[in-house]
Structure 1
Amino acid sequence: MSYRVDGKNDLFDLVIIGSGPAGITAAIYAKRANINVCVVEGSAPGGKILKTGFIDNYPGFASIKGPDLAVNMFNQLNSLSVPIFYSQVTGLEKQENYFFTYLDNKTLLSKAVIVATGTLERKLGLENEAKFETKGISYCAICDGPLYKNRDVAVVGGGNAAVEESLYLSGICNKVYLIHRRDEFRADSYAVNKLKEKKNVVFLLSHVVDSYLGDQTLKGIKVKNLKNNQSTDLTVDCLFPYIGAVPNTSFLKSFNVLSEEGYVLVDANQKTCVEGLYAAGDCVHKKIRQISTAISDGTIAALAVNDFFKLNK
């Protein structure tokens, strides 16, 4: 079979899908190994850290803003002249020894693929949710928080993201309600203790959001106390849900490499059961999802791809 490479079909050794910490790291290592590599990004480089207020657990920085770290990573990638295609991946398939990565306006051919697509925000699933998204429901506190300066907002969740973004919002907003369905937080105690020092944060433990209030824009939320089933209306201008994530891997369903939850199953070398197909970062089936583990995954995946090419010269 012959493959035509022109303005719509580009041939590479390696295509990396995603440019968060895992994807950028993989691209850096691949480029250093003289692999003909490109990166595909569906939105903006940086992944989840682009939406993180402050990062306090990344070596080398006592504290750094998420967007600043994302820009630093992206600038390093840019300095290596790695081609970046800004497009959603509409499909991925393998024919003989080549992968076809389908983008909005072209097809990329490659001998190997590293999937580093991360996760998407999990939604509350309440009535009128889509209606209020961008009109009072936001999944990015650092993006939209400044729009609600000196106003009341609510955050939902009990993990690190919910606590850290509540901490960020407490420095901007008049009042922050932190709503969590359990009695205790899953987040690091260090972050929780810092948040408890903020006098404008109201903790609503054992509570859930029951419904949205408002007509054209969000005007408030109805919350329910899970211990006594009593409901309360809260007047807030924005709700920030941080209740977990779902893997961004729907384009891989035909490869039989996904767990029941949709995460990519890989071995110790980040390799799937499909030859030439690797995965790294938060989209992978694993227990710990941190910036540091994503970088580790990206490193291992790129080096494994390099070994794969050496064995298949």
Structure 2
Amino acid sequence: MYDVVVIGAGPGGMTAALYTARSNLKTLLLERGIPGGQLNNTAEIENYTGFSSIMGPILATDMYEQVMKFGIEYDFGAVKEVVDRQSYKEVHAGNKIYRTRTVIIATGAEHRKLDVPGEAELNGRGVSYCAVCDGAFFKDEPIVVIGGGDSAVEEGNYLTQFANKVTIIHRRDELRAKKILQERAFQNEKINFVWDTVVERIEGKQSVEAVIVRNVKTGEVTRIATAGVFIYVGLLPNSEPFLNLGITDAEGWIITDETMATKIPGIFAIGDVRQTVLRQIATAVGDGAIAGDYAFKYIETLN
């Protein structure tokens, strides 16, 4: 029997585990991939206090090494469901069942797909959702980035160190990204913008060769030659294993109060998977600290 099972080892999950372990709670950190979550897909981080600039995978490793010094148990597994037994919870992952007094859900979110012809077929062969993972494969070639938010513009800037040209395609006539990111992109000679435009399909035989796009105002269809397509059009919550608990909104984001508690006593949610106004490293870490503290307080009420 664990005191706490933290599901997901992103910055929020690792912070929650750090707080519960430091409160002398028997803690299991459960992750289906490598520690760090979306940190591993982020090239350069400039908005996390204490670091003027740090590579995402390096920050992930630093966080993990710090957390593991506190005697936390760590295991790999994809969670299938969480069952509320009231006095305790069951976390079903793979062929294992973990029993715990509390659960902290920190499963994050994943990139939304365009759902256009060619996207799935050419995934990994020019279609990517991770600039830091795949950018170096496109040295001196043209690249297309889809989206207009922080991720699209920031990763578009990052990709200019490899590509000879980066075209950012956005369905609106202005960006949603922070002003500092916009200014950086507008000043970058390698970046150009295609406004009021959506992707109709991605073409290529062995790898990506072009995107077919349509202007939403004029209806004009254009072919843009490119070797790579990087897609940043929003996020979807990784909450499917918890839908049986009835703790999400209609879109799947987990609903919590200010203590990160869901409506089920002993089950908390933090970071990108929960219903929140901002999804950043700093907010995930803050959520993790709060959930770790309130998990301890909840367990005290059981004794």
TM range (shorter): over 0.9
Give the TM-score, by structure 1 length.
0.94
Deviation at 1:217, TM superposition (A): 2.1
Distance in 1 between the 2:118 and 2:140 partners?
26
Alignment of 1:73-112 (within 5 A): 73-112=63-102
Q: What residue in structure 1 maps to residue 256 of structure 2?
A: 266
Task: Give the residue type in structure 2 aligned to 1:142.
Answer: V
Q: Are residue 41 (structure 1) and residue 17 (structure 2) matched?
A: no
Q: What residue in structure 2 maps to residue 30 of structure 1?
A: 20
Distance in 2 between the 1:205 and 1:84 partners?
46
Does structure 1 retain, via aligned residues, the 8 Å contact 2:119–2:201? no
Q: 1:277 aligns with which of 267, 283, 290?
A: 267
Q: What residue in structure 1 maps to residue 137 of structure 2?
A: 147
Distance in 1 between the 2:49 and 2:85 partners?
42
Task: Give the residue type in structure 2 aligned to 1:121.
Answer: H
Q: What residue in structure 2 maps to residue 187 of structure 1?
A: 177
Deviations 1:209-268 (A, max 9, x none): 111111232211111122221111111111110000010000111111000110111111
Q: Are residue 125 (structure 1) and residue 115 (structure 2) matched?
A: yes
Task: Give the residue type in structure 2 aligned to 1:199.
Answer: E
Alignment of 1:50-69 (within 5 A): 50-69=40-59
Deviation at 1:50, TM superposition (A): 1.4
Q: What residue in structure 2 maps to residue 169 of structure 1?
A: 159
Distance in 2 between the 1:153 and 1:247 partners?
27
Deviation at 1:165, TM superposition (A): 0.4
Q: Secondary structure at the match of 1:113?
A: strand
Q: What residue in structure 2 maps to residue 196 of structure 1?
A: 186
Deviation at 1:129, TM superposition (A): 2.2
Distance in 1 between the 2:154 and 2:68 partners?
29
Q: Secondary structure at the match of 2:219?
A: coil
Does structure 1 retain, via aligned residues, the 8 Å contact 2:102–2:266? yes
Does structure 1 retain, via aligned residues, the 8 Å contact 2:117–2:200? no
Deviation at 1:99, TM superposition (A): 1.1
Distance in 2 between the 1:128 and 1:57 partners?
35
Give the TM-score, by structure 2 length.
0.97
Deviation at 1:119, TM superposition (A): 0.3
Q: Secondary structure at the match of 1:38?
A: strand
Distance in 1 between the 2:82 and 2:239 partners?
11
Q: Secondary structure at the match of 1:132?
A: coil
Task: Give the residue type in structure 2 aligned to 1:168.
Answer: Y
Distance in 2 between the 1:99 and 1:113 partners?
7
Deviation at 1:96, TM superposition (A): 4.0
Task: Give the residue type in structure 1 aligned to 2:40.
Answer: L
Does structure 2 retain, via aligned residues, the 8 Å contact 1:53–1:164? no
Q: Secondary structure at the match of 2:151?
A: helix
Q: What residue in structure 2 maps to residue 299 of structure 1?
A: 289
- Which consecutive unaligned segments of at least 5 residues does structure 2 have? none
Does structure 2 retain, via aligned residues, the 8 Å contact 1:14–1:36? yes
Q: Secondary structure at the match of 1:29?
A: helix
* CA RMSD across the alignment: 1.1
Q: What residue in structure 2 maps to residue 4 of structure 1?
A: none
Q: Secondary structure at the match of 2:134?
A: helix
Deviations 1:65-99 (A, max 9, x none): 11111111111112223111111112211224221
Q: 1:137 aligns with which of 123, 127, 135?
A: 127
Distance in 2 between the 1:69 and 1:292 partners?
12
Q: Are residue 235 (structure 1) and residue 225 (structure 2) matched?
A: yes
Deviation at 1:103, TM superposition (A): 1.3
Deviations 1:26-56 (A, max 9, x none): 0000110000001111111111121111111
**Bigger Cα displacement from structure 2, 264-273 vs 128-137:** 128-137
Deviation at 1:121, TM superposition (A): 0.8
Q: Secondary structure at the match of 1:176?
A: strand
Q: Secondary structure at the match of 1:131?
A: coil
- Which consecutive unaligned segments of at least 5 residues does structure 1 have? 1-10
Does structure 1 retain, via aligned residues, the 8 Å contact 2:21–2:71? no
Distance in 2 between the 1:151 and 1:104 partners?
42
